[in-house]
Every structure is written in structure tokens, then in C-alpha cells.
């Protein structure tokens, strides 16, 4: 049976407006919102690449992202073996680590030297809003799972700007967004694994 996907505004309200949502429904909704985050980050990257040779993408290495020190499952089989609390902690740690970087992207997008600046600015603000809503949904998920939350990993972000010249700002914006797209895919994948496990599905069906 096909899943019913709620409009984003209704989905956000469903996450934060009531405590009557069951665990499986809550996992469905945070998974839908994480999917939206990843889709938005991909769309933003495409907007940047439409008028900008992705120099930042060519130079980017996973080890350069500020979240690279976090030890995470490297495939689905590994994720399926990680205890639920630990997997949820990884998701929350990743999302929390993007609070300041997304705020920086949102502020920089306003004056980004790019022909698609208005579109990029709008989507970046939407990305930040959805990330905040997903964070609230994850806190509810911790409560709903009924066990003590695992400690979050500290992944500090120390950059205050993206550079002074136009090329540096474009390259660093592209690089930071590319890191977020990678991490948003991990967040989305891990939440879908949690949803699968909560539904008692066989591993090969996940």
C-alpha cells in the first residue's frame, strides 16, 4: 500500500502540535520531513550548479566537512545492527551540528553573488525552517520511544563567514551545502531504518 504523504505545513504541525501521534506515525512523519530536507538540499545544489562551475564540489573531500569525525554506519546492514537509541542519537547529533552552518547559509544567501540568488535564498530559509521542525520532531521521538536519550556528540562549527571575495563565497557556500546534502541523506536513511525496525519488518524488506 502506498504511503500517504502530508503537505509540509500539515506535516510540521503534526510533528509539534499534538502528543497523540503514535510511534510508527511519528517515525513516518519525521522520515517524510527528512526526505524533504534532502530533496531541498539537492535542489539547491542544482540551482548553484546551473550558473556556476562547481569548483567547490571538485575540491570537496568528506574529511573536510565539520561532521566528518562522527563515526556512523557505512551501509544499511551496519545501521540495522545499531541499537535504536544510538542510531537516533547519531541522527540528532548530525542535525544539531547543522544549526549554526544553516544559519550562516541563510544569512549569506541574501547577498550571494549568483543569478539564482532569490531562489537560493528562499530555499535556504525553507531548509533552515524544516531542519528546526525536524529537530523538534526528533525530541518528541526520544520521548515517544520511552527510554533515556543517548548523549549527543559535539561537532563544533567555527566559521563566521564564507569569505570576502565573490568566488570564495560561492565556493564555500557550495562546499557547505554539499556537506549538508551528504549528511541530510544519512539522516534520512537512518530515520527510514528506525521506521523499518519499529514496524518489525524483516531486514531484507528495509
Q: Is 34 part of a structural domain of the chain? A: yes
Domain that holds residue 166: 25-205
Q: What is the CATH number of the domain that holds 79?
A: 1.20.1250.10
DSSP H/E element including 33: helix 23-50
Lowest mean pLDDT, pick from 15-19, 101-105, 129-133: 15-19
Return mean pLDDT, the chain. 83
- Phi–psi pair at 165, nearest 5 degrees: -90, 160
Q: How many folded domains does the chain comprise?
A: 1
pLDDT at 148: 58
Q: Which long-range contacts (CB under 8 A, 24 or more apart) does 70-76 make?
A: 70/94, 70/97, 70/153, 70/155, 72/186, 73/190, 76/189, 76/193, 76/206
CA 165 to CA 162: how far, in whole Å? 9
DSSP at 182: H
Q: How far are the Cα atoms of 21, 85, 90, 150, 197 from residue 194, in angstroms, in the given order?
A: 16, 10, 12, 15, 5
Q: Is 67 part of a structural domain of the chain? A: yes
Q: Is 71 part of a structural domain of the chain? A: yes
Q: Is 5 part of a structural domain of the chain? A: no
Q: Is 4 part of a structural domain of the chain? A: no
Q: How far are the Cα atoms of 3, 4, 17, 133 from residue 9, in angstroms, in the given order?
A: 17, 14, 11, 10
Q: Is 16 part of a structural domain of the chain? A: no
Lowest mean pLDDT, pick from 30-39, 91-100, 109-118: 109-118
| This prediction's pTM | 0.84
Q: Which long-range contacts (CB under 8 A, 24 or more apart) does 71-79 make?
A: 72/186, 73/190, 76/189, 76/193, 76/206, 77/203, 79/189, 79/190, 79/193
CB 201 within 8 A of CB 145: no
Q: Is 147 part of a structural domain of the chain? A: yes
Mean pLDDT across 168-182: 90
User: Model confidence over 24-37: pLDDT tens digits?
Assistant: 899 999 999 999 99
CB 38 within 8 A of CB 59: no
Mean pLDDT across 158-177: 87
Lowest mean pLDDT, pick from 6-10, 34-38, 125-129: 6-10
Nearest Cα neighbor of 185 from 56, 82, 60, 45 is 45
The fraction of the chain above a pLDDT of 70, given in percent, is 80
Q: Is 19 part of a structural domain of the chain? A: no
Amino acid at each position: 500500500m502506498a504511503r500517504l504523504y502530508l503537505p509540509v505545513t500539515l506535516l510540521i504541525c503534526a510533528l509539534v502540535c499534538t502528543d497523540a501521534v503514535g510511534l510508527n506515525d511519528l517515525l513516518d512523519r519525521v522520515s517524510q520531513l527528512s526526505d524533504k530536507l534532502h530533496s531541498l538540499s539537492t535542489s539547491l545544489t542544482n540551482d548553484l550548479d546551473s550558473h556556476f562551475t562547481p569548483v567547490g564540489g571538485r575540491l570537496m573531500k568528506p574529511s573536510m566537512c565539520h561532521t566528518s569525525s562522527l563515526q556512523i554506519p557505512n551501509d544499511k546492514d551496519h545501521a540495522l545492527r545499531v541499537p535504536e537509541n544510538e542510531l537516533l542519537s547519531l541522527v540528532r547529533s548530525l542535525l544539531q551540528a547543522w544549526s549554526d552552518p544553516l544559519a550562516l547559509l541563510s544569512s549569506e544567501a541574501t547577498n550571494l553573488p549568483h543569478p539564482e540568488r532569490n531562489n537560493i535564498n528562499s530555499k535556504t530559509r525553507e531548509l533552515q525552517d524544516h531542519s528546526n521542525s525536524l529537530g523538534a520532531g526528533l525530541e518528541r521521538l526520544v520521548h515517544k520511544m520511552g527510554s533515556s536519550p543517548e548523549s549527543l556528540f559535539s561537532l563544533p562549527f567555527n566559521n563566521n563567514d564564507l569569505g570576502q571575495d565573490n568566488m570564495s563565497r560561492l565556493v564555500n557556500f557550495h562546499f557547505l551545502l554539499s556537506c549538508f546534502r551528504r549528511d541530510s541523506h544519512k539522516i534520512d536513511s537512518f530515520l527510514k531504518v528506525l521506521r523499518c525496525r519499529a514496524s518489525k519488518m524483516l531486514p531484507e524488506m528495509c
